[in-house]
Amino acid sequence: MKYNRVEELCSLHTNLSVADVQKISEIVVTLPLIADLNKANVFVDCPTKDGKHALVVAEAVPKTTKSVYKKTVVGKLVYEAFEPSVLFTLRTGKPMFLNRALTQEGKTVDQSVVPIIANDNRIIGTLIMEKDISEQVRYQQKMEALSEATKTLSGILIGMTENRPIIPEVIEESLFFIDQEGKILYSNPAASNLIQEIGKGDFTPGDLLIDYFPIIKGILNDSEELLVQEVNILNKVFQVKKITLGQHVKSNGIFVIFKNITELREKERELIVKSVAIREIHHRVKNNLQTVASLLRLQIRRGLPEESKVHFVESLNRISSIASVHEIILANSSVDDVDIYSLIEKIGNMLVVEAEHENQKVSISYSGPPHLLIKSNKAVSVALVINELIQNCVKHAFNSINEGKISVQFAQYGNEIHVQVIDNGKGYTPKSKNSLGLEIVGMIVKHDLSGDFSIGPAETGTIALVRFPIDREVVEE
């Protein structure tokens, strides 16, 4: 604390004597402790020479809480209009406690003021403590506004005239307003119609709501101010919402709103049934494809001409790739989306295992973002494309080497998916493009996926690239 600053301010702006300033300085020494102990900003104000205002000659900012002020106020004048308690204490010598004041930075504070008295009983200054209550004031104002709004709304409902109802009568929901005892004070036309619909006839204001709807007794008795539950009334589903209009601990009334959601729930049930049916279709298609695959395997085991065997194996792999799409769908929660990573991995592993049966040493790796989804109809086309490209690697790339490596990489770029199949085999030759597998790939990519397909030499081996949009565009002939 700069005590010479206290002496300087008092000398320039007050009529205090040297002894008075010495007493003020002794009090200033204790300000930091007082501020930390009370978690408040503490000040010493002294009267100006004209006696109309006060001057802040010292301050202490608490280390135990956030300061009320962003900037120092030492040397600032204190005006009676903003801090009347300070001037009142300077003039009368009477302390003031927890009075509301407005700081020079516009914050609302609780201000306590006690006089500083000289040895001859003259008032030479004030010791002030301020705590920020801006948030409390805002909360109090909100509560007062809410309370007033609640009171007004209750009055509107209770005191509305018969000829000019305030609440819109066109509201679709059935709305009741009841008192604390559950007596109906107001109902809109939809609510009156609901009572007639359940066969209770007309009702009289003042009747108990639970006499018409016993099923909501538990909702009304619940202590929650806002509660939403579904109930069944006459084979219909209603969402019942209870809103308690509270004013402090006393309730002004309760809104009870019935919303008919029968149609919504029926549509949800229809969607569930459709989802189950779709999953059943996927299950049957997968089983049928696996049956066909089993028949092909059986035929291969029973023996085939060597020139025919390769064609059976290729057909078997294509069928198994399509079956993989349906198998992945059944394993996931979605009935129409396929995770492309899982699909590529399943097909690739299947083909590598098949290669191992033919005494080929082939390893395969995958890279791409997880949970990249495509629609099931597009997934079938992607499965066939991936099958042909990996099968092409296994069949042609590694004839002259002992061990082969295949890398399948995919990524999303905007609305487009790129899939690369790279091998370290003997390399690409233009005549390879005439193979049936690559013709199938080109046709599927163009017509089913509306994409592009390219194949060419890599640094070592061959790289095939497929690009297609996520949102399918039909390619016309």
Q: What is the pTM of this model?
A: 0.44
Exposure of 276 in the CB half-sphere (CA atoms within 13 A): 5
Domains of the chain, CATH where assigned: 3-132 (3.30.450.280), 141-260 (3.30.450.20), 265-469 (3.30.565.10)
pLDDT tens digits along 299-341 = 777 777 777 767 777 777 778 777 777 777 666 656 678 888 8
Query: What is the pairing mode between strands 337-339 and 462-469?
Result: unpaired
Place of tokens 């049966």: 357
Angle of helix 340-357 relative to helix 306-331, nearest 10 degrees, comes to: 150
pLDDT value at residue 168: 47
pLDDT tens digits along 52-85 = 889 999 999 999 888 888 888 899 898 887 888 8
The answer to whether the Cα torsion of 117, 121, 124, 130 is positive or negative is positive
Angle of helix 436-443 relative to helix 376-392, nearest 10 degrees, comes to: 150
Place of tokens 């802040």: 56
How far apart CA 452 and CA 147 sit, in angstroms, is 66
Whose CA is closest to 327, among 264, 376, 282? 282
Whether residue 446 contacts residue 409, with contact meaning beta carbons closer than 8 Å, is answered with no
Whose CA is closest to 368, among 321, 327, 407? 407
How far apart CA 83 and CA 104 sit, in angstroms, is 10
How far apart CA 416 and CA 449 sit, in angstroms, is 11
Q: How far is CA 54 from CA 80, 100, 140, 342, 371, in A?
A: 8, 18, 31, 78, 70
Whether residue 35 contacts residue 62, with contact meaning beta carbons closer than 8 Å, is answered with yes
Whose CA is closest to 125, among 26, 1, 39? 26
How buried is residue 463: exposed, middle or buried, by Cβ count under 10 Å (0-12/13-18/19+)? middle
Secondary structure string (H, E, C) spanning the chain: CCHHHHHHHHHHHCCCCHHHHHHHHHHHCCHHHHHHHHCCEEEEEEECCCCCCEEEEEEECCCCCCCCCCCCCCCCEECCCCCHHHHHHHHHCCCEEEEEEECCCCCEEEEEEEEEECCCCCEEEEEEEEEECHHHHHHHHHHHHHHHHHHHHHHHHHHCCCCCCCCCCCCCCEEEEECCCCEEEEECHHHHHHHHHCCCCCCCCCCEHHHHCHHHHHHHHCCCCEEEEEEEECCEEEEEEEEEEEECCEEEEEEEEEEECHHHHHHHHHHHHHHHHHHHHHHHHHHHHHHHHHHHHHHHHHCCCHHHHHHHHHHHHHHHHHHHHHHHHHHCCCCCEEEHHHHHHHHHHHHHHHHHHCCCEEEEEEECCCCCEEEHHHHHHHHHHHHHHHHHHHHHHCCCCCEEEEEEEEEEECCEEEEEEEECCCCCCHHHHHCHHHHHHHHHHHHHCCCEEEEEECCCCEEEEEEEECCCCCCCC
pLDDT in tens, the chain (477 residues): 455 789 989 999 999 999 999 999 999 999 999 999 988 999 999 999 988 889 999 999 999 888 888 888 899 898 887 888 899 999 999 998 888 777 767 777 888 999 999 989 999 999 999 988 877 777 666 666 655 655 555 555 555 444 445 444 556 788 888 888 888 888 888 888 888 887 766 667 788 888 889 999 999 988 888 888 999 988 889 999 998 876 544 557 888 999 999 888 888 887 777 766 666 776 677 777 777 777 777 777 777 777 776 777 777 777 877 777 777 766 665 667 888 888 888 888 888 877 665 667 888 899 988 888 888 778 888 888 888 888 888 877 777 676 788 999 999 988 899 999 998 888 777 665 557 778 888 888 888 888 999 988 888 888 999 999 987 444 444
Which residues are within 8 A (CB) of 243 and not within 5 positions of it... i.e. 6 or more apart? 225, 226, 254, 255, 257
- CA 188, distance to chain mean position in Å, is 36
Whether residue 421 contacts residue 386, with contact meaning beta carbons closer than 8 Å, is answered with yes
